[in-house]
Amino acid sequence: MEKVALITGATSGIGKAIAIKLAENNYNLIITGRRNDRLEKLKIEIENNTKSSVLTLNFDIRIKPEVQSAVNQIPEEWKNNLKILVNNAGLASGLEPLQKGDSEDWEKMIDTNIKGLLYITKEISPILVKNKKGHIINIGSIAGKEVYPNGNVYCATKHAVDALTKAMRIDLLPYNIKVTQIAPGMVNTEFSTVRFHGDTNKADNVYKGLTPLFAKDIAEILFFIVTRPEHVCINDIIVTPTAQANGSIVNRINE
């Protein structure tokens, strides 16, 4: 077995697009998420259309024992060939001024985007250290580079991802492990539907009058990053749609 990549949050959006891109390029995959039906469907799709093998791990990244027991299920051969960890699972929940915010939304974001990312990295990074090689790619956000109105806690969690990316790069430096952050602006996935608690009208409005990024755009960037020569580590990439200047200024047609 050659080249294994583990992608968290592969049931949708950016994680799913990354899984497909890496499978098309001969990576075997470990894909994770809570929606097992989607994981199994993606496994079949990839195994029918590429030469890659897929292992599915169905768990909630917020629950430490679930993360630990899922990683324990990975067969030794897969662990020995694990080269890439994509920390992608994440979400925004709510878009309200802080004083009106819902603490359940805050906890969901903190538990997923910060604590979940830490739990899986704590389990996987020793495997990469043992393999004396590896690449961790954290999916941050433009919300980790600046803050925008009502983004408060989501922005804080993505600032944490920004800081953790830099910290991981230092701590894993002696072990030949690359650490990269991709920080996208607006990508049209299920992200906004989740942010607005299932309100698809509100979600559609986010992308109205502009061409957003698509999950495939991020997958292509990730593939470029992981195919650089051994001595090259891309630290950080901010990518927005052409119609987005920063976290809060966009150019909409008919506005």
Residues at the contact surface with ligand NDP, assessed by CB under 6 A:
9-15, 33-35, 60-62, 88-91, 112, 139, 141, 184, 186-187, 189-191, 194
Provide the minimum distance between the beta carbon of 5 and ligand 8X3 in the complex, in angstroms, as a whole number.
22
Please give the DSSP secondary-structure letter assigned to residue 144.
G
Provide the minimum distance between the beta carbon of 194 and ligand 8X3 in the complex, in angstroms, as a whole number.
11
Length of the chain: 255
Token pair of 17 as six digits: 């697009």
Which does residue 194 bind out of ligand 8X3, ligand NDP, none, counting CB within 5 to 8 angstroms by kind? ligand NDP
Mutual orientation of helices 13-24 and 215-226 as an angle, nearest 10°? 50
* From 27, 119, 148, 154, the catalytic residue: 154
54 versus 183: smaller Cβ distance to ligand 8X3: 183
149 versus 229: smaller Cβ distance to ligand 8X3: 149
Residues at the interface with ligand 8X3 (CB under 6 A): 141-143, 151, 185-186, 247
Which does residue 15 bind out of ligand 8X3, ligand NDP, none, counting CB within 5 to 8 angstroms by kind? ligand NDP
Annotated active-site residue 175? The verdict is no
23 versus 183: smaller Cβ distance to ligand 8X3: 183
Cβ neighbours of residue 96 closer than 8 Å, sequence gap 6 or more:
102, 105, 150
Provide the minimum distance between the beta carbon of 236 and ligand 8X3 in the complex, in angstroms, as a whole number.
15
d(CA 84, CA 115): 20
d(CA 146, CA 156): 9
37 versus 76: smaller Cβ distance to ligand NDP: 37
Token pair of 50 as six digits: 């590429």
Do 161 and 141 touch, CB atoms closer than 8 A? yes
Phi/psi zone of residue 22: left (φ > 0), alpha (ψ -120 to 50 degrees), beta? alpha
**Residues labelled as active-site residues:** 154
